[in-house]
Amino acid sequence: MLISIIIFIITLLVLVVIHELGHFLMAKRFGIKVEEFGFGIPPRIFGKKIGETIYSLNALPLGGFVRLLGEDEVESEGKKISERDFRAKPVWQRIVVVVAGVSMNLLLAWVIFYSVIIYQNFKIIYPTVQPGAYVGFLEKGFPAEQAGIRIGDKILSVDGKQVKKFDDARNFIKEKKGAEVLLTLTDIDGHSQRQISLTPKKVEKGDALIGVGFSPLATKEYKTPLDKFFSGITYSWNLTKVTFAGFGKLFADLTSGNFKLASQSVSGPVGLATMSNDILSSGNQAIPFYLWFVGVISLTLSIFNVLPIPALDGGRLLFLVIEAITKKKVREDIERSVHQIGFLILLSLALLVTYSDISKIIHP
């Protein structure tokens, strides 16, 4: 458990460094002074100044930040702004600096997904919002493969009996005792519904099997050279759609007052650390799955950070886009107040999620 926690902390540190490094490098590229490169959220535990930048370690391990000269300051009338001030730069340069962190997390996710997909012979876990019974693998020479069933297909029903969890499909087929079965399936995205009739094949032990390994998680398989070439990018896009579908479900649960179900669908650092331990407890064979897990976190960080939420990159980006369109800056005191309120709300939500994660551990 301790080793898993250490690995997870190092993982978070890498993700934060990658994100903030994007801001840092672009700020340096445009001549903006970087006053602080911080890991975690203040209060500060430790800080060391190297050159013109303070590198700090802070108390709350919920992220990190790069503090740029003038970024959150209100301009004083008559006071000259340094040419190295964030506010002094053209709006397009400020947009690039803000977007750079998100871009680095997205790029890291692509690299990880490509690595996992190639390592697993162009196959990868394909998360979905709704659970179900998915075809995880096919046995050669068995009826399922011969009938055209594909890896990633979802079983909706067996002889008209609805499949609600992945065990149902296997149990319903077993109940037929070798007689012909009618399967209703869709592809991995829930499209192209079709029906297939097939007769299970008897094996030495007396069982009758169709030659399918069912899984609660879908598996995506890339076959054509074009699919393989773009696999890491298209997988990220598909995962993004699933993420927004999850956001929609979370919002629906919250508005309907189903707070318990909503709390089960979100996790903070404590919950992610628990998942990390569960994955790593499987030993060396869990390495590809853990890399996938890190890729998902990196992609989620890029998605969440680009949303127009005050205090996040997306919130800052929104004000810059308004400035670019209207050719006028939003009043700096208003923008600063919005970000401060947003930060307090985000911090409160982070504490609530952490409390929920700890409650799940204590009362599973």
pLDDT at 356: 78
User: In angstroms, rounded to a whole number, what is the distance separating the alpha carbons of residues 47 and 41?
Assistant: 13
Does residue 77 carry a pLDDT above 60? no
- Per-residue pLDDT for 228 more than 90? yes
**Residue whose tokens read 């079709």:** 194
Return the pLDDT at 195: 93
Residue 52 confidence (pLDDT): 93
Reported as a pLDDT band with limits 50, 70 and 90, residue 237 is very high
Split at pLDDT 50, 70, 90, the class of 259 is low
Above 80 in pLDDT, residue 265? no
- Whether the pLDDT of residue 141 is over 80: the answer is yes
What phi, psi does 15 have (nearest 5°)?
-65, -40
* φ and ψ at residue 104, rounded to 5 degrees: -65, -40
Q: What average pLDDT score do residues 300-304 get? A: 92
**CA pair distance 143, 127, nearest whole angstrom:** 27
pLDDT given for residue 54 in this prediction? 94
* R_g of the chain, CA atoms, integer Å: 25
CATH numbers and ranges of domains, the chain: 2-117+292-362 (no CATH), 133-221 (2.30.42.10)
According to the model, what pLDDT value does residue 208 have? Answer: 82
Q: Is the pLDDT of residue 321 over 70?
A: yes
Instruction: Using alpha carbons, select from 250, 306, 290, 329 the residue that is nearest to residue 7.
Output: 290
Q: Is the confidence at residue 360, as pLDDT, over 80?
A: no
Percent of all residues in the chain with a pLDDT value above 90, rounded to a whole number: 40
Which tops the pLDDT comparison, 333 or 317?
317
Pairing of strands 154-158, 133-138: antiparallel
- Taking the C-alpha atoms of residue 2 and residue 301, their distance in angstroms, rounded to an integer, is 25
Q: What is the pLDDT of residues 80-131, one digit of tens each?
A: 888 999 999 999 999 999 999 999 999 999 999 999 999 999 989 887 777 7
Task: Quote the pLDDT of residue 75.
Answer: 61
For the chain, what is the mean pLDDT? 86
